[in-house]
Structure 1
Amino acid sequence: MITLKDIQKAYRIHDIETVALDSLDLTVNQGDFVSIMGPSGCGKSTLLSIIGMLDSCDSGSYRFLDLNIEAYSENQLAKLRSRNLGYIFQSFNLVDDLTVAENIELPLLYNKVGKKQRRARVQAIMERLSITHRANHLPQHLSGGQQQRVAIARALVIEPKLILADEPTGNLDSENGTEVMRLLTELNQQGTTIVMVTHSETDAQFGNRIVHLLDGKMISRQPKVVLSEVQYA
């Protein structure tokens, strides 16, 4: 699904250059759940932005769904993102003055899905995530765990091939964090590919592969431990 080869990315402010990614290689297969770990500033978020086609690399190659996207225009990238990628953020990124149902519906509006189909898909995903009773509530009237469920529903409603999650439990207590991670695991077991950035060793173990970054370089890959051995702190 994803093949990154010799990826270089640096940011320049005045005369100072900061290397974010340095000769990085990464392959993600269909059905993987990859956890990306490392200290702040190691390049995790930059890597996720490049995978999500929100940023571009300075050099190297990126293939998504066996497509070489380097020559794609921004409009072509936007269409590819909107049809294939779901995003889950630490800060939820819900629209405050839209209801739960309206927030979930947004990606379908962008993809010009018909009204009848939009309503059916929004209803189905709310039922799947047990938030139907919150359909007409505004985000500020929900708990953190409920808001993250809405964010996950919004990511899933387009039926994406890939979910990108950036610290999805960072603003949640341990109980809601565990619930979100179990939900992501369930989605992965149903066939959705997930790439997640996290600082949490516990969250990382829910993936089937852990990638460690340091100073923009991949320093190790390791399989997960048996989930029965993981206890959420």
Structure 2
Amino acid sequence: MIHMRFSLPGGRGRVSVLLAAALLATGGAVIAAGPAAAAAECADVDVVVARGTSEPGRLGLIVGDPVFAAIQRRVSGTTLTSHAVDYPASVSPTSPTAGNRALVSHVSSQAQDCPDQRFVLVGYSQGANVVGNSLGVSSAGASVGGPVVATIPAAVQPRVAAVMVFGYPLRKLGRGITGVYADRTLDICANRDVVCDPRGASVLAHLSYTDDADEAAEFAVDRL
């Protein structure tokens, strides 16, 4: 499901934080994310998040952390774990490739160790490219994109309950996630987002996706 949001963030206390993130995304010093979670026990659902370029936070300040918290608030009788994809999330041309390999490796390993576990995949900005590549949709030619180097095994595909991408750079090229995952995908691009809107030029719009955490959580929980 493709969703273009037509609102920009208003005067919020987090605007200064988002502006700092904007500086990071455009060439400032990189803030390293916290360490990835240790190998999870076999929860019912593993929420796997690829953060955006230089995005602070364990799962990601703008998308991953708020989306996971919103999912936690909504589930009942379902156990959850979260995993931050271990990749540079930098402007290096090899960064999305590393993320693609790391995401597929984690999901493949979890699927083998936990035969009943399902997955929710979340990606923001460069992380959306990582998620798309892992589903077999190349982001080559997009901002901080790259070719597909690994894909989630076909046997695991039915266990991917939901895919959610925010500020997906491939949208700038008029493309998105297709194929078997299309009807399980929520693709949100804020109006005028410089990264995903073909006519966009707003960095603030690209930093506004915390506003969509509740909608995303409802989308995911409806599919669990």
Q: TM-score, normalised by structure 2?
A: 0.34
Which structure has the bigger radius of gyration? 1
Q: More strand by proportion, 1 or 2?
A: 1
